[in-house]
Chains A and B, each alone.
Chain A
Amino acid sequence: DSGVTQTPKHLITATGQRVTLRCSPRSGDLSVYWYQQSLDQGLQFLIHYYNGEERAKGNILERFSAQQFPDLHSELNLSSLELGDSALYFCASSVDSGSYNEQFFGPGTRLTVL
C-alpha cells in the first residue's frame, strides 16, 4: 500500500458524459501528478500540482481539467467523454518539488467509456 488513495476504482460511463476522479496523496506530500495509461499511448503525464498550484501540463486534453484543494487532495475532471478516453488513470504524490523525491502511485481508476 503506497498510502495514495484513488476513488473510484472503476468507472463505467457513456460517451459525452462527465466524470470526476479523486486522489488523496500520502500524508505530508505536497505534489500530485496525474498519469494516463492506455493501450495505444502507454503511460503519459497529464498534469502536476504542487501545494495547490499548477506546476506543469503534459498531454492533457482541453476537455480535461484538474485542481488541488487546500487539503491537498486532487480531482481530475474529464468531460465530453469519448471512447478513446477509456484508460487507467493514476495519481502519484511526492513530498516536495525538486530533488530526489520518489513518486508514490495510487492504485488507479479504471475508466471505461461505452
Chain B
Amino acid sequence: AQTVTQSQPEMSVQEAETVTLSCTYDTSESDYYLFWYKQPPSRQMILVIRQEAYKQQNATENRFSVNFQKAAKSFSLKISDSQLGDAAMYFCAYRSLGGAGGSEKLVFGKGTKLTVNP
C-alpha cells in the first residue's frame, strides 16, 4: 500500500519570503499522480498543484512550484512571495492511475500547518 509522509507538522514564514514544505511517499508503482492540497480555516480542500510521475518537468502554478524527485520519492512544495492568504494546512497526496477496475483514491499525508507572519 502507498504511504505519504509529511515530516513537518508546522512551518512558519515571513510575508513575501519563500518556504518549502516537504513530502515523501512510498510506492511500488511506476506511474502515479501527486498533489498538494490546501485547507484554509474554512476547511475547504483546494487543489494547489499536481504532478504526473511520468513527467520529468516540475509543475508550476504561479507562486507555487514543486521539486519532484522520483528516485528519492520526494515531492516538496515551494511557495514564493508568501502571502497572508497562504496560511493554511497543506496536504500532500498520492493517487494511483487506477484503470482496470482500480480506484483513484487519494492517499494523504498528515499535513503541515503553515503560518504566515506579517
Contacts and interface: CB of A to CB of B under 8 A. Distances in A.
B52 interface: yes
B44 A107 contact: yes
A55 B103 contact: yes
Contact of A94 (B44, B99, B104): B104
Contacts, number: 59
Interface in B33-90: 33, 42-47, 50, 52
Interface string A85-107: 00010101010011111110101
A45 B107 contact: yes
Interface of A: 2, 31, 33, 35, 42-45, 48, 55-56, 58, 88, 90, 92, 94, 97-103, 105, 107-108, 110
Interface of B: 33, 42-47, 50, 52, 91, 97-99, 101-111
